[in-house]
Amino acid sequence: MDMSSPEQLIGQLDLDEQETAEWIAALHSVLESSGPDRARFLLSQLSNAAREAGLQWRDARITPYINTIRPQDEAPYPGGSDAVATEETIAGILRWNALAMVVRANRAYGELGGHIASYASAADLFEVGFNHFFRARTAEFGGDLVYFQPHSAPGIYARAFLEGRLSADSLSHYRQEISAKTNGVQGLSSYPHPWLMPDFWQFPTGSMGIGPISSIYQARFMRYLEHRGLLAPQPRKVWGVFGDGEMDEPESLAALSLASREKLDNLVFVINCNLQRLDGPVRGNGHIVDELETLFGGAGWNVIKLLWGSDWDPLFARDANGELVDALNRTVDGQLQTFAANDGPFNREHFFGQSPGLKAIGATLTDEEIDRLKRGGHDLRKIYAAYHAAVNHNGAPTVILAQTKKGFGMGTAGQGKMTTHQQKKLEQQDLVEFRDRFKLPLTDAQVENLEFYKPADDSPEMRHLHARRNELGGFMPRRVDQRLPIAVPPLESHAQFALEADGKEMSTTMALVRMMGNLLKDATLGKHVVPIVADEARTFGMANLFKTVGIYSSQGQLYQPEDIGSILYYREAKDGQILEEGITEAGAISSWTAAATSYAVHGLPMLPFYIYYSMFGFQRIGDLIWAAADQRARGFLIGATSGRTTLGGEGLQHQDGSSHLVAASIPNCISYDPAYAYELAVIVDDGMQRMLQKNEDVFYYVTVTNENEAQPSIPKDAREGILHGMHCVSPAKKPEVRLLGAGPLLKEAMAAADLLEGIFSVKTEVWSVTSFSELARDGIECERNRRLQQSDDEAWVTQKLKGSKAPVIAVSDYVRAVPESIRAYVPAHFVTLGTDGFGRSDTRASLRDFFEVDAKWIAYTALAEVYAGKKTADEMREIAAKLELDLDKPISTSV
């Protein structure tokens, strides 16, 4: 039983007030005489004693609904009142320009959308960061990293406008990126998108939950680079400014314990608690701040509640018997929102009118003063004090729970309104009120025209703004891509075994791990390689790397591993190279993204290989991969145990038949499904050259399998075809049928060719398709060039297959839609086979029969084409019988 819930604390009657006073006095006296450490020690001793006495007492996870930092402990504002006043003026201007940007865009084109209310609530939180804390990257300092709340983007653009980085023309092209380009202007993307604004945004945060988890793994990856001696240790911080609603996303909370376990005091979360999401308060009957305090506090974070502005301090000072604090404890979010949406008289009546004591406190204020009582997240001094405490906290990450008003300053039109999130049109009267509220020097006509406002260069505001950013190293956000090539070792140095396999048996997974092991040993490249797993290293045969390069652990190894005697023992080390993330694909991909973007974020190119069950990639964490693509990630995603029929017994949830379909939809994802170790070697080599040497913003998705098979050596001149997506592995003169086999099913296509030639004397040619998606992309582009430019471009598929009219049968271990993607470029009759439907637990042989993709089914399908119009139905049935195929079996997609 938790005896310390707030209700109990608040509601409990004090049976002996004198005794209580004595205990409290004792605490104060210890504090005064021996300081806070001693006081904390005594409290934990008391807590232990209580537990030993069987009290089952736990410290409250929820503290009262007031600021964590006492006024007397607040760090003073640098620059004092002048700075506060100037920065408040700047914040007002930014609010206006952000609002004007959104309202203008929507006046012109009602469909563009955008948000005003979110930034209105977050502006002060950002401004204190921009003016005092967010340090830019310079020649000497790596810079702080800031994850911006996505729908506050208009405010960040508004600031860049004042800074002279974005023009008024750009602001006029908010959410009009395509027409902006036509007009020769930098358009502004809706949310932070490095793909669209590569010199500006560093981190994509538009999809809720991605920012929080990414920022945690980013902070951890910075430590990894430092511990491995690749990055000089510097007091850099990762800041994440997020909405309270965004904290509902599982990804937002998924890595909280990692952050505290790793003692990431380089990480600060600022949660903009405006108590509203999109639809409304969502959980209006409670306190989101308390919920988050429990979650973050329980996970070991330093929690700072920043709820009330300085103008509340005298009210609390007058609250001798705790009535005001009690009332705040009791006032739930839905009600706080109603108070935000209403004026002074309403708040006097409904909040301060609750009891005579509160009434007396309220009586010290005018209605106007009550109306203007600030929440903590709108008070620059309080925000500064909280940030100051956060950046000086050691040993744990900090979260600041900043209470704000959604649509702050939008008056009766928007502040605290249920509908404020989507409001993007304001009446003239509302705009004038907004101008007056923030004392903007705009005429009614300028307001009507939604003119952007920029103070004169020599105004105190502009001078202050520039001085602050100069002091902090320059403008932010800013993405820097220095193009730092890294020498890629010659293919033979790490993949000779694959190029000249000469029939040796191995799986493509084994080949990949062996190649990676060799790359790790390379004098130049080795240290840049980052092997990442989500607790499956043994599944993929990577256990030998535990010993050779070690598993990263910020604490080193504090125990003697059970297998210490083995040469491959489980070795954790502070400079370990493998990121072993445990069972969290979301975490592992976040680490991968941090590594894959290190070239831009830290000016330090890394080469991550994240190796995982292919089914738990694009299907499970596809949105995180999409965001990595937006962030111009460079690295390898290795989908292991891939293919619907190749991962035998694992069944429906594990067998992947679709990842290549999704991978193909990501423009900068180059995906391959190689069959042979030598193909894999060529692909990895090409990837390294493009990503590391040529600095192309692409990443590679490569599927590998655990099926052992005899690996041939690389045929002469195969490289070009492998990279284009198909090359001939078994040519035939005047073939009657051509088989295209991909990945693990190339083997079935080769066996089908043997059946066709051996039993039916049908001349068969076999091609290995390494990438249907690359072939399709090439086809789309060539086709378009022919249409638009009247060029004679010909798709690779067409070039390779046009020499014959023989039918073409394609088979892969993926859904038919994958090979179907090249249909338009196949200059012959084309049939596709694939693994549509749910997987099953069974042997590979049974699965391939079930999905009709084994050698016999491929052979039968080929014969059906070759004999079309020549054999009767009965004769085809005889052929099927000869091949032991059941033509009446249900389709694999049926139940």
Q: Does 424 bind ligand TPP (CB under 6 A)?
A: no
Q: Does 382 bind ligand TPP (CB under 6 A)?
A: no
Give CA–CA dist 39/32, Å, rounded: 9
Give CA–CA dist 334/283, Å, rounded: 8
Q: Does 333 bind ligand TPP (CB under 6 A)?
A: no
Pairing label, strands 504-506, 709-711: antiparallel
Which part of the chain contacts ligand TPP (CB under 6 A), choosing from 207-215, 438-446, 665-673, 785-793? 207-215
In angstroms, the Cα distances linking 455 to 161, 432, 438, 452, 652 are 11, 19, 14, 10, 63
Which part of the chain contacts ligand TPP (CB under 6 A), choosing from 63-71, 105-113, 205-213, 296-304? 205-213
| Nearest residue to ligand TPP, by Cβ distance, number only | 243
Closest to ligand TPP by CB, 231 or 241? 241
Q: Does 175 bind ligand TPP (CB under 6 A)?
A: no
Of 163, 200, 187, nearest to 101 (Cα)?
187
Closest to ligand TPP by CB, 91 or 501? 91
Extract the tokens encoding 218: 């980013």
Residue 895 burial (CB count, 10 A): 5
Q: Does 378 bind ligand TPP (CB under 6 A)?
A: no
Q: Does 75 bind ligand TPP (CB under 6 A)?
A: no
Of the candidates 30, 31, 278, 315, which one interacts with ligand TPP according to CB under 6 A?
Answer: 278
Q: Does 189 bind ligand TPP (CB under 6 A)?
A: no
Which part of the chain contacts ligand TPP (CB under 6 A), choosing from 71-79, 275-283, 780-788, 807-815? 275-283
Least separation in angstroms between residue 422's CB and ligand TPP is 9
Of the candidates 202, 276, 671, 798, which one interacts with ligand TPP according to CB under 6 A?
Answer: 276
Say if CB 348 and CB 367 are below 8 A apart. Answer: yes
Q: Does 415 bind ligand TPP (CB under 6 A)?
A: no
Q: Does 288 bind ligand TPP (CB under 6 A)?
A: no
Closest to ligand TPP by CB, 249 or 820? 249
Q: Does 748 bind ligand TPP (CB under 6 A)?
A: no
Of the candidates 106, 214, 272, 646, which one interacts with ligand TPP according to CB under 6 A?
Answer: 272
Backbone dihedral region for residue 480 (phi beyond 0: left; psi -120 to 50: alpha; all else: beta): beta
Q: Does 777 bind ligand TPP (CB under 6 A)?
A: no
Least separation in angstroms between residue 277's CB and ligand TPP is 4
Least separation in angstroms between residue 411's CB and ligand TPP is 18
> Which residues between 211 and 270 bind ligand TPP (CB under 6 A)?
243-246
Least separation in angstroms between residue 278's CB and ligand TPP is 4
Closest to ligand TPP by CB, 207 or 331? 207
Q: Does 334 bind ligand TPP (CB under 6 A)?
A: no
> Which residues between 514 and 553 bind ligand TPP (CB under 6 A)?
none
Least separation in angstroms between residue 385's CB and ligand TPP is 22
Q: How far apart are the first and last CA of the chain?
A: 50
Q: What is the 3-state secondary structure (H, E, C) of 583-648?
A: CCHHHHHHHHHHHHCHHHHCCCCCEEEEEEEHHHCHHHHHHHHHHHHHCCCCCEEEEECCCCCCCC
Size of the site for ligand TPP (CB under 6 A): 18
Q: What are phi and psi of 533, to 5 degrees?
A: -135, 155
Q: Does 375 bind ligand TPP (CB under 6 A)?
A: no
Q: Does 208 bind ligand TPP (CB under 6 A)?
A: yes
> Which residues between 91 and 130 bind ligand TPP (CB under 6 A)?
118, 121
Say if CB 836 and CB 892 are below 8 A apart. Answer: yes
Q: Does 374 bind ligand TPP (CB under 6 A)?
A: no
Closest to ligand TPP by CB, 106 or 118? 118
The residue assigned the tokens 């000497």 is 140
Q: What are phi and psi of 641, to 5 degrees?
A: 40, 45
Q: Does 423 bind ligand TPP (CB under 6 A)?
A: no
Least separation in angstroms between residue 195's CB and ligand TPP is 17
DSSP calls for 23-35: HHHHHHHHHHHH-
Give CA–CA dist 662/657, Å, rounded: 11
Of 864, 862, 858, 857, nearest to 885 (Cα)?
857
- Reported residue count of the chain is 895
Amino acid at 129: G
Q: Any bridge partners for residue 529, and if so which?
A: 607
Q: Any bridge partners for residue 739, and if so which?
A: 766, 809
Which part of the chain contacts ligand TPP (CB under 6 A), choosing from 68-76, 100-108, 201-209, 675-683? 201-209
Closest to ligand TPP by CB, 381 or 405? 405
Closest to ligand TPP by CB, 411 or 657? 411
Which residues, at least 6 apart from 131, have a Cβ–Cβ distance to it below 8 Å? 83, 87, 464, 465, 468
Of 219, 178, 212, nearest to 196 (Cα)?
178
Q: Does 151 bind ligand TPP (CB under 6 A)?
A: yes
Least separation in angstroms between residue 765's CB and ligand TPP is 48
Q: Does 821 bind ligand TPP (CB under 6 A)?
A: no
Least separation in angstroms between residue 522's CB and ligand TPP is 40
Of the candidates 207, 331, 335, 619, which one interacts with ligand TPP according to CB under 6 A?
Answer: 207
Least separation in angstroms between residue 297's CB and ligand TPP is 20
Buried b (16+ CB within 10 A) or exposed e, 9-25: eeeeeeeeeeeeeeeee
Packing angle, helices 677-688 and 508-521, rounded to 10: 40
Residues that bind ligand TPP (CB under 6 A): 118, 121, 151, 206-209, 243-246, 272, 274, 276-278, 406, 421
